Structure 1
Amino acid sequence: MEESFTLSNGIQIPKLGLGTWRIGDSAVVPIVREAITLGYRHIDTAQAYGNERGVGEGLRASGIARDEIFVTTKLAAESKSFADARDRIDASLRALGVDHIDLMLIHSPQPWSEFRDGGDYDAGNLEAWRALEEAHAAGKLQAIGVSNFERADLENLFANGSVRPMVNQVLAHVGNTPFDLIDYCRNEDLLMEAYSPVAHGAAMKNDRLASMAGKYDVDVAQLCIRYCLQLGLLPLPKTTHQDHMRSNTDLDFVISDKDMTALKNATTDMDYGEANAFPVFGKKRRPAAATER
């Protein structure tokens, strides 16, 4: 809980964060407050989640100084013009009630209704990125990055942007780990964040993971979160339960090399249930899982 990664611009980011997707604006207030009370210092939200206001209220209700908490939010996926992105950045600052955001990401290289459909949004992503760069230069954003970007999307920003992305937040969990992208980002000095490290809860139903977790006297969620950390990823588990918030931070164990190899090679087909449809993403279903190795 007290450890951090260092981004390419020197900013420190706590190694574990709390995700807030699918938590309502009012419901998220006590959850954020409780998480901070338990020791969380990294809260992740997004414009698409519709709960930035509540996250901000929860931060203030915690009584912890603003500069002790790392806040991430994400620019709406459909925002692909400079003017719109600039307005939305300011709207997030107002909704959160803060004078700066620690990290802001472009939520997706395509609007959700066209996610991974092959549309060319290179120019739009550069427009949105230019707005993030401007806000970063003005001190409104301490760090900037992307989410769900693949190699070609990143290369567009590397070649044409003025500031290199510092973070790429992607879906990553046992049975769906994008190793090639992780290696590429590491070589480019991007920190990789893992959202849904417990596969939207689907991992909890897996008997093989339960058996391995038992060897370490931990639960499946702890095993999955530790797996991400040992890969050098920053996991963002989401929960609304106080006990789970607490246990998700109890990670003082090390997965053996043998077991890490087994987890890396897992071919578990996770059923995301209701999360498959992603109402946040225009009811478009997720693409197929990443190739294993």
Structure 2
Amino acid sequence: MEPGNNTQFSEFFLLGLSEEQELQPLIFGLFLSMYLITVFGNLLIILVTISDSHLHTPMYFFLSNLSFVDMCFTSTTIPKMLQNIENQSKVITYEGCIIQVFFYIFSAGLDDFLLTVMAYDRFVAICQPLHYKVIMNPRLCGLLLLVSWIMSAMNSLLHTLMVLQLTFCREVEILHFFCELNQMVQLACSDTFLNNMVMYLASVLLAGGPFAGILYSYSKIVSSIRRISSTQGKFKAFSTCASHLSVVFLFYCTSLGVYLSSAATHSSHSSATASVMYTVVTPMLNPFIYSLRNKDIKRALKRVCGIVYMCSPS
């Protein structure tokens, strides 16, 4: 294939999870179901936290934002994948690919920052309970959220602008179900040393940094819980952060699994399949983890369902 400037062509080809035609209806049905569950579950969390005054606390404020980001995360990739399967097409426009890259990196980064902020919230609640309302005031919560959005947007914009500077071959086949940054960089015909360096540094700083913050917060939380004398008190303290810890474990383990499987097999199809875990499965499971493990959410859901039932026509 002849190299050409990145403005001389208008489309890429997403090869998806499998090229076998008989599997396409199964993949379509599976991903459509997971997408609908993800949107409905996260939207329900947002509506419940907004409608119930008992949930107007920092923890649920950040949770509703996490649910919104999870909806955006899946909406960036899945609808286009479903459209291509329905139309029996593998095409995505150059502009559409760039947009996917931006919002994918933005959503993943914001997920990471929000999980870190939520870990800090649990740290203050357990380690400094008497000062919780003073420290986690609305101004600080808003500032933490704003910084998270700005940092994620700047990181995403940097990667996107650097991709725009690359030169691609005229027909680019991406062995993935969406325009993943690393795949695009590998397929470029021009020098990608700077792109690879920026990706590496961003991974260390913007993924490793928040993860280190989460580990530090939970090391302090564990130390505080161990100092509690009663078993019931220890259980109550741990239960307040069990849901968040489960989501953190799921997010980082699935993300790490993608890169380990990719490095071990050197197969793009294997990497694409593993990516399903943190791009689709994790956002789908988050609402269930918080609703099933959280008594406040369950009470709010029952209250909202009761109101809907009373307001519905007999």
TM-score, normalization by structure 1: 0.24
Which structure's CA Rg is the greater one? 2
Structure with greater helix share of residues? 2
Structure with greater strand share of residues? 1
Which structure has more RCO (C-alpha within 8 Å, separation ≥ 6)? 2
TM-score, normalization by structure 2: 0.23
